[in-house]
């Protein structure tokens, strides 16, 4: 018996090495999905998968899932740094039907994942009026949402809700959000953390709140439209400061308040249009700082900013 011990041990080591090597090779830096793909495929360009969920297990950390053609690619839970690219090369948007569920859940807690970063690009996320959230971000360091449509959710379009202490960054660029019962975009941090946001060309219509910045949110919003919601902008603070800077933002035709600031939060506005809102234009006026170059007209009550003025250069 003993004379076979070494060969068997050596064989086991070789077999384990082959298994580890095969597992590593199974995850590619770039994978592909197609409307006519199959999740049993390796998700290569010539043998694409059918869904994002089928492709992510075959995609390496920091890799990318790309679409070959328009299709419905299913909802996805993301627990590692990755890019999901739904189009941009003429093939249209990657479609996600999220009826009775959430389109994307992002929850990256792995300490070995240094970047903890997700990029979602060229996606059409449809809640069919029964979905929970379009995108729900629970943990991670960075989230970039670009060139994306989100429509028809019972709660939020984009919901960044952190329970652990974190200093995160959310970038939103060229995004349209419609028909959400909650907020188009909602952000809140832990009482001692912050969530920094850069928002460029966001269009939110027919939601409960266009932009809802809660505890610990520090946001910059430019070239955006928040219109036909119940409230245009809502800011609140409960321990970690909330400050939102708005430049060139149109806050109009909301049925209630244009800008609502509570609990010591701060709004700073320049070159903004606040008009035709059913309620007061902004409240309380003392919590809104101004560059003195905003258009405020046609609201239920027109209130001018009464906070600290700042100079325009």
The confidence score (pLDDT) of residue 305 equals: 96
In a domain, 44, yes or no: no
In a domain, 41, yes or no: no
Q: Which tokens sit at 297?
A: 């007209």
Chain centre distance of CA 1:
62
In a domain, 180, yes or no: yes
Instruction: Average pLDDT across each block of 10 residues of the chain; the chain has 313 residues. List them in order.
Output: 47 44 67 96 96 97 94 96 87 88 97 97 96 96 97 97 77 98 91 85 98 92 98 86 95 98 93 98 96 96 93 65
Determine the Cα–Cα distance for residues 181 and 155; give it in Å rounded to an integer. Answer: 5
Peptide bond into 284 cis (omega under 30): yes
Backbone phi and psi for residue 257, each to the nearest 5 degrees, phi listed first: -75, 145
Q: Which tokens sit at 272?
A: 């903004």
The confidence score (pLDDT) of residue 21 equals: 40
The confidence score (pLDDT) of residue 118 equals: 98
CA distances from 38 to 33, 34, 41, 42, 123 (A): 8, 8, 6, 9, 20
Residue whose tokens read 């990256």: 108
Do residues 176 and 210 touch, judged by C-beta distance below 8 A? no
In a domain, 30, yes or no: no
In a domain, 128, yes or no: yes
Do residues 69 and 34 touch, judged by C-beta distance below 8 A? yes
CATH number of the CATH domain containing 272: 2.160.20.10
Closest by Cα among 84, 16, 23, 88 to 55? 84
Q: Which tokens sit at 124?
A: 């059409």
pTM: 0.90
Determine the Cα–Cα distance for residues 191 and 262; give it in Å rounded to an integer. Answer: 16
Determine the Cα–Cα distance for residues 313 and 306; give it in Å rounded to an integer. Answer: 20
In a domain, 94, yes or no: yes
The confidence score (pLDDT) of residue 263 equals: 85
The confidence score (pLDDT) of residue 238 equals: 66
**Any idea what the Cα angle at residue 191 is, between residues 189 and 196, rounded to 5°?**
35
In a domain, 70, yes or no: yes
Do residues 120 and 88 touch, judged by C-beta distance below 8 A? no
CA distances from 81 to 29, 87, 304 (A): 12, 19, 44
Print the domain residue range for 129.
61-297
The confidence score (pLDDT) of residue 26 equals: 67
The confidence score (pLDDT) of residue 189 equals: 77
Number of domains in the chain: 1
In a domain, 35, yes or no: no
Do residues 312 and 294 touch, judged by C-beta distance below 8 A? no
């Amino acid at each position: 018996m003993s004379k076979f011990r070494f060969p068997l041990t050596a064989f086991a080591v070789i077999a384990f090495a082959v298994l580890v090597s095969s597992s590593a090779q199974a995850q590619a830096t770039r994978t592909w999905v197609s409307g006519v793909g199959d999740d049993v495929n390796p998700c290569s360009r010539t043998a694409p998968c059918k869904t994002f969920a089928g492709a992510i297990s075959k995609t390496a950390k920091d890799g990318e899932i790309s679409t070959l053609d328009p299709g419905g690619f299913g909802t996805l839970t993301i627990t590692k740094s990755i890019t999901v690219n739904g189009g941009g090369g003429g093939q249209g948007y990657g479609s996600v039907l999220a009826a009775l569920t959430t389109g994307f859940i992002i929850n990256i807690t792995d300490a070995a994942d240094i970047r903890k970063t997700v990029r979602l690009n060229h996606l059409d996320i449809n809640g069919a009026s029964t979905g929970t959230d379009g995108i729900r971000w629970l943990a991670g360091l960075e989230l970039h949402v670009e060139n994306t449509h989100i429509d028809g959710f019972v709660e939020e379009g984009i919901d960044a809700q952190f329970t652990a202490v974190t200093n995160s960054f959310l970038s939103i660029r060229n995004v349209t959000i419609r028909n959400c019962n909650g907020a188009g975009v909602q952000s809140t941090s832990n009482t001692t953390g912050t969530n920094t946001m850069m928002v460029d060309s966001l269009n939110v219509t027919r939601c409960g709140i266009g932009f809802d910045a809660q505890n610990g949110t520090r946001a910059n919003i430019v070239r955006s439209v928040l219109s036909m919601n119940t409230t245009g902008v809502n800011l609140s603070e409960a321990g970690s400061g909330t400050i939102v800077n708005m430049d060139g933002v149109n806050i109009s035709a909301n049925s209630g308040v244009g800008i609502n600031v509570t609990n010591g939060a701060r709004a700073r506005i320049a070159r903004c249009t606040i008009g035709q809102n059913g309620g007061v234009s902004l409240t309380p006026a003392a919590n809104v700082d101004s560059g003195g170059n905003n258009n405020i007209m046609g609201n239920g009550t027109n209130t001018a900013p009464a906070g600290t003025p700042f100079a325009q250069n």
